Amino acid sequence: MKVTTSKSKNSESFYIAKSFINDKGVSTSVNIRKLGTLKELIKEHGPTRDDVMAWARAEAKLETMRYKAENEAKKVKITFNTDAKIKYNQQVFHRGGYLFLQSIYYALHIDKICRKLKDKYKFEYDINSILSDMLYARILEPSSKRSSFNVANEFLEKPSYSLHDVYRALSVLGEECDFIQSEVYKNSHFLGSRNDKILYYDCTNYYFEISQEDGCKKYGKSKEHRPTPIVQMGMFMDGDGIPLAFSLFPGNSNEQTSVKPLEEKILSQFGCQKFIYCSDAGLGAERIREYNHMGKRAFIVTQSIKKLKAEERAWALNKCDFKNLYDDTNTDISNLPYDDKGIYYKEIPYTPRELHQRLIVVYSPKYARYQKTIREKQIERAKCMLSDGTAKRTSKNPNDPRRFIKKIAVTNDGEIANIHDLLDNEKIENEALYDGLYAVSTDLLDDEVSDIIHVSEGRWEIEECFRIMKTDFEARPVFLQKEIRIKAHFLTCFLALILYRCIEQKMNKRYTCTEILGTIRNMNFATVQEQGYIPLYKRTAITDELHHIFGFSTDFQFITKQEMRNIQKKSKGR
């Protein structure tokens, strides 16, 4: 420790500073205690500045002695023998990132839900330990149930169950899937208020590594374009991006039929009565809109401009009569500069059948530039297909470059002599008319357009939920065969997504999914001679924030076994 001073125009201050070598290997110092100003100190330790400095140096020496004494008491002495071999099957590696997930798990009182299940079914195994470990493993290292059991054995707290208990528990979890979802939703209010006045709905599907249909696993239009049976999932998400409820239905079913049963469940079991239903055009059929116009509900759904009636479509494509979203000035969007960053809209009353609605057409120059860039790349690919002869193949993908290729028949004496493939410029020009445009239909007749557009734009988060489940949590392909266990598998993926989204929300969405998952997946520890643990991860701004949010720290140079047990208790809210 040393004495440092800083002078200003009217005073001089005395400090005790500690010197250290920073991460870059550079010697630096930090003030750890302010002694006071010269004017204050000279009254008690004067009469001269030299007397004050002598006293300050004595204080620095005492601070050094205290620092050494405290650190000596905290030092852990460990000896190693270069001739001693490690023991057979000795585990020294442990995963610790689950501790933050565990904090959310217990804050949601999922352990109490498991206690209710145990009281109901009277089984002997610890279903709380099984479910929690499956959720943590799904996030930290997604894999099969057997592999997840092996991952759980690397946690700081080892499983208290056997592998066959996991498969037994799957049947119970699948059977009680709806009950668990509703209880988790009710318990989620312990973490804070839910933004359940806006509910987003969407569907996706998951493929199986089987060749024949079986039960709910049916042939359908796979998102991955795979020729294997699929099962479909419909999911509701709240306005903050946290999943609310999900349901499974056969792969060959129309996804529009999935909305009403799951929404009825939310109305009856979850207690949600007043909310705005928001979805894309595929899940916004007129009967779905009418259903969500009942009670205290409302809807905001995207509307396909191409499927509007001719008169309404012509009005939507007309570049006049738009208004700036922020100041309502009239705008002709054909006169906007190329790099314009505004948002423009126009609206009319819309009654396709009996329900009175508002049709809002939105134009974004930025979105128009994006669509134009994508289309130009697809046109180049279409030209390459024409030159190398691959244009003859067929595809049902609406974004396939082959849609810009048309066939022209050449006749000779009334008979087709040859068929040529040509670039369809008319098709290209027709698609360009819709660049930057999208439409929204709603029964909110008095709400601000900016608010309606803001809600509609939030649909990207439910698409991200599905992406996280499929890519980061590897929810597919599914290898389970029994339908009740398949439901349990998706329940664990769904609950894991809730845990992750809650962490993301607590961090105010400042970090990406890759950054958060990468951090907690790497927060591992090594056991040192049964005395404690050494962190094996890099300390970063994300690890600091995680420790600050959850109220415990694992980034010390050495953590004793007792200290780690205390951390584990804190992560469970005890």
The domain locations on the chain are 2-74, 367-432
- Position 275: which residue type? F
For residue 237, what pLDDT is reported? 96
pLDDT of residue 416: 61
What three-state secondary structure class fits 445? coil
Query: Looking at residue 223, what is its pLDDT?
Result: 81
Chain centroid offset of residue 443 CA: 30
Question: Rounded to 5 degrees, what angle do the CA atoms 340, 341, 344 make?
Answer: 95
58-67 long-range CB contacts below 8 Å, 24 or more apart? 59/3, 59/16, 59/35, 60/1, 60/2, 60/3, 60/16, 61/1, 63/1, 63/16, 63/32, 63/33, 64/1, 67/1, 67/18
Q: Give dist(CA 342, CA 228) in Å, integer.
A: 44
**Identity (one letter) of the amino acid at 369?**
R
Q: CA triplet 224, 229, 235: central angle to 5 degrees?
A: 65
pLDDT, residue 392, reads 65
Q: How far is CA 57 from CA 2, 32, 63, 444, in A?
A: 7, 14, 10, 73
The token duo for 456 is 């509609």
> Cβ contacts of residue 462 below 8 Å, gap of 6+?
200, 201, 202, 235, 237, 241
How many residues are there in the chain?
A: 574
In this structure, what token pair is assigned to residue 40?
A: 């204050």
- Which helix (H) or strand (E) is 348 found in, with range? strand 344-350
> 3-state DSSP: the chain helix, strand, coil percent, rounded to 5?
45, 20, 35
Low-confidence stretches of the chain (pLDDT < 70) are 23-25, 72-74, 391-396, 410-418
Collapsing DSSP to helix, strand or coil, 381 comes out as helix
* Model confidence pTM above 0.85: no
- What pLDDT is stored for residue 342 in this prediction? 93
Q: What does the alpha-carbon distance between residue 182 and residue 515 come to, in Å, rounded to a whole number?
A: 30
* Radius of gyration over every alpha carbon of the chain, rounded to an integer in angstroms: 32
Tokens 């809109």 sit on residue: 289
Dihedral sign computed on CA atoms, order 297, 303, 307, 309 = positive
Tell me the pLDDT tens digit for each residue of 121-143. Answer: 998 899 999 999 999 999 999 98
